[in-house]
Structure 1
Amino acid sequence: MGPEPTTPAARPRTGAGLVARAARTAARRRGAPALHPFGVHAEATLAVRPAGGAWGEPWLDEPGDHRVLLRWSRAAGLPGRLPDALGLALRVHDAGGPGRPLDVLLTTSGGGRVTRHLPLPRLDATSGPYSTLLAYRIGTRQGLLIAHPSGASPHVPSGLTALRAALERAPLAFHLCAALPGGAWWHLGTLTTGPPLDLPPGETLSYDPYQHCLPGLRPTDRFSGVREAAYAASRAGRRATEEVRGK
């Protein structure tokens, strides 16, 4: 018998397998997530003040102030003097009810209709927007989540040491918006940072927007197989390193 034909359904699985192997290897070697390996954590508050009528997701439709644990990181883990895509990971505690957090992962991007889908390396953490890059189900609609720095935000270098120092000096504010097809922008809330937090040595939090999402606020299925495989493999690589260290 000859080799099995390559079907459209098989190609994503192959791609997911390659990405998973790469993520597992990187995480095992680093003892940290494959991407965004090291970061600065801080408490924050997300004041949800939705616009645009009813979204169809209670968390978006009901104004409220929510406690957030954020993590700022550099995607490739490059030294601070070099440009790198920055990640802003948000964990909104109890967004879906007690014990049901919401994770949102944002990456430095452009603001245009095309560039908002592309990661953009920067040397400044507050000079432009952060986007989910891939589409989200936002209530009954589909679009992206984007966080824009407040116009009053100071210049903050993108190195982790500089980010931590900025968080210690004063709060930083970002406007969380929904970017819908056709160019429409809708304000969802305002994120205000608090002082940085120190985690126990060797502890790194894992954010996962597929495991921690809401029925009406979640990533769409496009590329979900590849991304979920990468997250799972990264966690497995870190566990393997922890097991070796514990022996």
Structure 2
Amino acid sequence: MARVLCVTTTLTTHQRAFRSTVVKKFTMAVTGLIMIGFLLMHMYGNLKAFIGAEAFDHYAGWLKGATDDGGILYPIMPAGTFIWVFRFVLVLAVILHFWSAVTLWSTSNKAAGRSYERKKTMARTYSARTMRWGGLIVAAFLIFHLLHFTITPSAFHPDPSSAYAMIVNSFSKPWMVAIYAICMVLVCMHIRHGFWSAFATLGLNMSSRSRAILNGLAYFVAVVLYVGFMVMPLAVLFGWIG
């Protein structure tokens, strides 16, 4: 009778923790890139305000499937479906990103007393050191922005049926532009470090040249997003739009 030898392997606690950390970092990287992609698309839509009220409102309606042509991805999807699928994916990405960040932060805290961790912390950039509390402020700003323009626009705007009217009403106020300007600094600091970290997690920082390119791209994306998002509120404030 032939004997079958079964070999089982058991992961050590350290190995399981390492695998869990890798998965969480990968999740954080992918979800972060999804959100950066959304921000670039959102910025593109905001810039349509320079074309005029009709173009801006049409674009907003097109995303929601409220235009005569059925909106984005019609007839592949029924009119108005895409925006809800997109929102679901984005909300899921935000939840997974936040969960990964919190659990990785908890793991890091447990190792805070190690000399390796102390040396690593000293080498971090300012944006890296502020990622945790900066992320909380970004989350608070996101909630405010959604309440302001999406969830309860009627509480803030006399004409919530027009996206163009809402941005003109909001950014005609200097204090509102100041809030967005300050919060976007924090958002873009978060993005700069997050962009670099995401591609580093995906293995694209294996040489000094690739690290330099990646660092340059991270700054470029952050600056483009800041300028792209702030140019429209400033244009409204100074009367170039509206």
TM-score range, shorter chain: under 0.3
Normalized per residue, the structure richer in strand is 1
Which protein shows a greater Rg?
A: 2
Return the TM-score normalized by structure 2. Answer: 0.25
